[in-house]
Structure 1
Amino acid sequence: MASLMDYYRHVVNVWYGGSSRKFIEYAVSAIEKEFGRKNVFVLEAPTGYGKSAFSAAFSLYSVYEEFKSIVAFPLRALLEDQYSKFLKVFPRELIGRRYMHTAESPYLTFPVTLTTIDTLSLTVFGIAPEDLNKVLTKISSYGTSYGSMGHYWYSWASVGLSNIVLDEAHLVADTTKSLNFLVALMDFVVRHDGKLVLMSATLPKALKDALLKNSKLYGKMEFINFEPGSEGYDEEFVEERRKKKYHPINVVPLRSEEKLERIESWILENKDKYDKVITVFNTVGDAIEFYNKIVSNRDFEEFRKILLHSRFTEEDRKSKIDKLRKIVKEEKYIVVATQTIEAGVDISSTLMISEAAPANSLVQRFGRFLRYGEVEGKAYVWYEVDDEGKLKAREISGEKYYKVYNYELTDKTIEYIRKHSNMNFHVPQDYSELLNAVYTSFTVNHEDVERMINIFLSYERGSERAAEEFLRLEGSFVRESLIIPAYPVDVLKRESIDDIVVTNIKVFNNRVVPVQYGFLKKYFSGIVVVELDGELRIVKVENSDEVFRSPRSFLRYYYGFKHGSIMAFVVDAVYDSVLGLIPLPKSGGGA
């Protein structure tokens, strides 16, 4: 019988030519030591330290020495990046992906499944994507005796028999909703005497304290921290990181009308010395506008340029990731991105220009700065201000936001960096102090957690209970906003005759673009594409206002559609492989 350490050394031999990390070896040993007594392991290691080698080794151990594994990611981009690496150590027949329209591992049943946290959450509660439509259609029934309520026992077993890894676990605890799910998942793992490993570079002390307060985890959880004085602390790695020179960090307030010109000027001012540029925006609209601006500016002709955000088809997103891997060998490039670059994108820069965001996000963005051994660079963190010079705010349902982020967390992050402009985002001790200053409390809603746990105890009506909770939480156990498949109206016009879509289902799925509920509500064209008896048909929605009355009414329409399965909602937008999905102008503003 091979040990977890044996499998780890095999992975680093294949991936890195045998060059392992001191702290990861220590973590492997620590987990092996406590494997028979504990169920939940929290592995905290710096960005770019090679944590993914552990998840591959843990999966190898799970398959060959136990039964199966599930590795879950918060972002599809990260999943796809890791999938290509996993194929170097696993036979193709043992590994499958499951997310949106990629269904290689239904019910997460492959020996190794790479999935999203969204799909894992549906499956663990017994409403796997394969069953969700039928369960919501039959939600008025009770148990399998009165109509199909899906294969919820099968879903429970698939997850319960797996060792699970959650990568970038801080993103599964950034809201009360997602933290509730994390606590419920831990309870599920402990009840089944399973194993769960949470991996992250950025876990604030307040989050660890919130997890430890869960009495059901007492004696069942092990924290493995990268900190001075610990047995596995990698002093050599830290000293190499301390040599990075980019201080002070420039923290700059900007008015909306001047921001793009100022960012352009920073690139031009520094182009002779720092010509590997990443500029990160918080919204897709700003990223597209800035990309168009530099493409049309002859001062930037010498740079390779690429735009990366969430509103691309899966095919084009993969193509862009491939291009990113190639342009890192170029002397000069500008990557314009949104927060999609925070995980799963292996690229470096010598000039980092980031819009302000909460500390967790900024740490991840700076993980793409001086990443490949570069020693010197320059960094800007900018933010939009109102007429009074304060951080610009907007209200959504009574909550205060800066763009898409929590206003208070963003404001606290800006103030901390302004006062500590010489902090080093590459040194764990420095960014841990930032995280602990910004994130001072995490809230677990124990009533919601109990609702989730009670799903597992409802043996006759498990999937019905899960569906009710799914609707109550407005379509996600982990996210505040729904992610929905959209199809651009210009593409549909080229591919349809009357009410028939003439492309095949696989090609159609490759052209679907994931969008958030708010975007869909604003730009919905009034028609959907439905799959019925193997054929794609265009169906007009008779009462769009009623469908979009609330997220819950939308979900009932989407998943409870009785005349086939809705494949995508058609939006008033055009699609461009370079720019992505671009909404057509409507009264009242842009994207």
Structure 2
Amino acid sequence: MVPYDYQTRALKALMQGKNIILLIPTGMGKTRTASLPFFHNKAGQYGMLPEKALYVVPMRVLATQFLTTCRTLYKDELNPDQFRETEALYERLKRESISIQTGESPEDPQFESMITACTIDQMLSSALGIPYGLDARKANLNVAAIASSYLILDEPHLYPISEDGRSYKGAFTTCLELLRLLNGLTRFVFMSATMSSELVKRLSTLLNAEIIELDDAELEELNKGRSRVFTRANEPMSAAQILREHERCSLVVCNTVQRAQEMYLQLAEAIEQQQLSIELRLLHSRFTDKDRKNQGKELGDLLGKEQWEKGIYQGEKDVIVVATQVVEVGLDISVQTLHSENAPANSLVQRAGRCARFELQAGRVIIYPLHLDEEGKPASTLPYNADLCQSTWAALERFDGRVIGFREEQELINIVHTAGDLALLDRYEAHRDELQTVITTMLRTNDRTHASELIRDVNQVQLIIHDQPEKEITIRPWQWQSFGLHPSALMGKHWTHLKDCQQKRDLAWMCKQAQQNKAEQQDDEEDQRLPTVYDWPPLTTPEEVPGALLIAMPQQLVTYDKDLGLVFRDGRIALPQRWQTRLDEQHYQSSLLPQTSNKSDGGPTRVQT
């Protein structure tokens, strides 16, 4: 495959010993552009890039997608003769040459493969000397692995920032500081489709990296006849509006799981009442690991590139997919119409990348104001910043009804995000000495105290559905199927409603938390091979929720459906009667997950989002 001019420029810069910032639209070859120079250097033994690479992503779904893409590229487009020695080495080591390291798939905990796809959490924890799933005695090996790798940093603006943008701390600034500290040693590519122009310029200066971007002629060539029209709706999103605008295949993106479930149920009822022949799917973060993987594959089969010919959808069935922001990245699918609740501009642009994604497609992107809550007021913007959402909605007015290409997307992002991006960098620069001190301390002591500040403030709790956790889940409870929730899902009015349901159903308990059995705690000198035993005392107040390691709830209060995902039975979602009956008949309890051969038994692997 003949490379594009910008890919040649990227290869040349990397082979000259430069680091680069790659700014190109979604779906136009960022992954190939960053990966091929590594393979080129490896095959030719040029010595201009490290011998191993890490592909670092903000969410584990992207790591899984890269693993598939990279293995296909390696198998189908490269000369196998040039990698025989490499493959022979990994065969002797009984390791895959291309692997993945996430909380869900911990296949390469010490980053020994030629290329490893991993989350930013896994990369930073290792770089700071506190690798997840490994004890401190092996930490230096992981520090060295990161420092000596070629780092491909995908969508770094999505790396988390602490305290909702009011702090200088978080994975983005920690990553930035590590790259500056390792300047001249560690090679890297920063790549994104949705960073503001001023942020890119400042990063280029701070990191001494060359910017690779497209000129107008290259954009026209790569665009291949694609077009999207953005429309700002007057009323909140509704099932009726979605069906009126539907044409063959549509994607509906909601900002929360609950809102996505509600929209799915409303569409299901309308489709049945109108006797429409439409396949309806739901995708969000609260499905089991197995079901999420199957959903991604099935959606690829329904809406992937093979289903499009000359811009026309060829699928046998009409399809509507309802999803949350998990669809913003990681799925190589396309639809004709995208419906989205209002969100920050960079998130909207990522969502729009699933509409008219393939050549010759013409698509529509309809953005809706947020729906009204129970009190008739606009719903909360969470999980997004309210000011960014408001700025985005105001900025969209000038783009209403226009064809929006990459230049217009950048203009929208610049309007909304520039001020916040530059303020973050200013805060980081002002506190850089403090950040360096914390990083140095962590590397010297392997102390995890500051992990949440420097990597990810894990504002999540893990929920297990089980009636008798104290009898059946007494060791390694993190190895059971669990679901990530924001603590607020079990606090405030939800705690009250769940308590009411507990009493109505005459249940002995509502929530229990996993706690290490004090009698089983061992000193460091004792045999650590014995598994730790856990008790499950009840939670008595909602204030205990955020600090719980794992929470268990009985299936009478929360259940799981293969089409809806995790569902609370406290009335927070209005369920049609047939769905009430269906959930009443469910008998789901979390099960023990299958373990990979590299799975550590030493403790819980931190949650990846």
**Which TM bucket (shorter chain)?**
0.7 to 0.9
Higher share of residues assigned strand: 1
- d(CA) in 1 for partners of 2:154, 2:173: 17
How many pairs align? 497
Q: Greater shift after overlay, 368-377 or 287-296?
A: 368-377
Mapping 1:32-71, distance limit 5 Å: 32-33=15-16, 35=17, 38=18, 40-61=19-40, 65=45, 66-71=50-55
Among residues 570, 579, 588, which one is paired with 2:552 in the alignment? 570
Aligned to 1:10: none
AA at the equivalent of 1:303? I
- d(CA) in 2 for partners of 1:300, 1:196: 54
Among residues 500, 505, 509, which one is paired with 2:472 in the alignment? 500
Q: CA deviation at 1:349?
A: 0.8
Gapped regions of structure 1 (runs ≥ 5): 1-17, 135-148, 395-401, 559-567
Distance 1:500 1:159, change over 3 A: same
> Percent identical across equivalent pairs?
22
Aligned to 1:96: 99
Aligned to 2:312: none
Contact 1:283 1:338 in 2 (8 A): yes
Q: Deviations over 1:112-168 (max 9, x none)?
A: 21111111121111111024xx6xxxxxxxxxxxxxx54332221111111111112
Aligned to 2:69: 85
Q: CA deviation at 1:59?
A: 4.4
Contact 1:528 1:538 in 2 (8 A): yes
Q: TM-score, normalised by structure 1?
A: 0.75
Q: CA deviation at 1:267?
A: 2.9
AA at the equivalent of 1:154? L
- d(CA) in 2 for partners of 1:530, 1:59: 45
Q: TM-score, normalised by structure 2?
A: 0.73
Contact 1:348 1:370 in 2 (8 A): yes
Distance 1:237 1:85, change over 3 A: closer
Q: CA deviation at 1:46?
A: 0.9
- d(CA) in 1 for partners of 2:39, 2:484: 32
Q: Greater shift after overlay, 92-101 or 157-166?
A: 92-101
Contact 2:335 2:354 in 1 (8 A): yes
- d(CA) in 1 for partners of 2:480, 2:28: 33
Matched position secondary structure for 2:511: strand
- d(CA) in 1 for partners of 2:515, 2:32: 41
Contact 2:327 2:351 in 1 (8 A): yes
Q: Deviations over 1:310-354 (max 9, x none)?
A: 112221100100110122242410000000000001111111111
AA at the equivalent of 2:214? F
Matched position secondary structure for 1:381: strand
Aligned to 1:76: 60
Q: Deviations over 1:45-84 (max 9, x none)?
A: 1111011113332443576543211111111111111111
Aligned to 2:365: 379
- d(CA) in 2 for partners of 1:85, 1:321: 14
2:567 is the counterpart of 1:582: yes
AA at the equivalent of 1:579? L
Q: CA deviation at 1:484?
A: 4.4
Q: Deviations over 1:155-188 (max 9, x none)?
A: 2111111111111222127744343223213223
Aligned to 1:435: 413
Distance 1:309 1:501, change over 3 A: same
Aligned to 1:145: none
Contact 1:353 1:380 in 2 (8 A): yes
Q: CA deviation at 1:31?
A: 2.7
- d(CA) in 1 for partners of 2:455, 2:275: 41
Q: Deviations over 1:254-309 (max 9, x none)?
A: 3xxxx4xxx322233234xx221100000100101111222233136411111111
Aligned to 1:276: 249
AA at the equivalent of 1:436? N
Aligned to 1:302: 277
Q: CA deviation at 1:457?
A: 3.6
Contact 1:81 1:344 in 2 (8 A): yes
2:182 is the counterpart of 1:189: yes
Matched position secondary structure for 2:355: coil
Gapped regions of structure 2 (runs ≥ 5): 76-86, 88-94, 308-314, 496-509, 521-528, 576-609
Q: Greater shift after overlay, 412-421 or 514-523?
A: 514-523
- d(CA) in 2 for partners of 1:460, 1:327: 47
- d(CA) in 2 for partners of 1:303, 1:588: 23
Contact 1:314 1:513 in 2 (8 A): no
Mapping 1:322-337, distance limit 5 Å: 322-328=297-303, 329=307, 330=315, 331-337=317-323
Q: Greater shift after overlay, 154-163 or 445-454?
A: 445-454
Aligned to 2:600: none
- d(CA) in 2 for partners of 1:511, 1:287: 22
Q: CA deviation at 1:19?
A: 5.6
Contact 2:124 2:175 in 1 (8 A): no
Aligned to 2:203: 211
Matched position secondary structure for 2:129: coil
Contact 1:23 1:234 in 2 (8 A): no
Aligned to 2:145: 158
Contact 2:558 2:566 in 1 (8 A): yes
Aligned to 2:6: 23
Among residues 224, 232, 240, which one is paired with 2:225 in the alignment? 240
Contact 1:127 1:150 in 2 (8 A): no
AA at the equivalent of 1:24? Q
Among residues 316, 323, 329, which one is paired with 1:343 in the alignment? 329
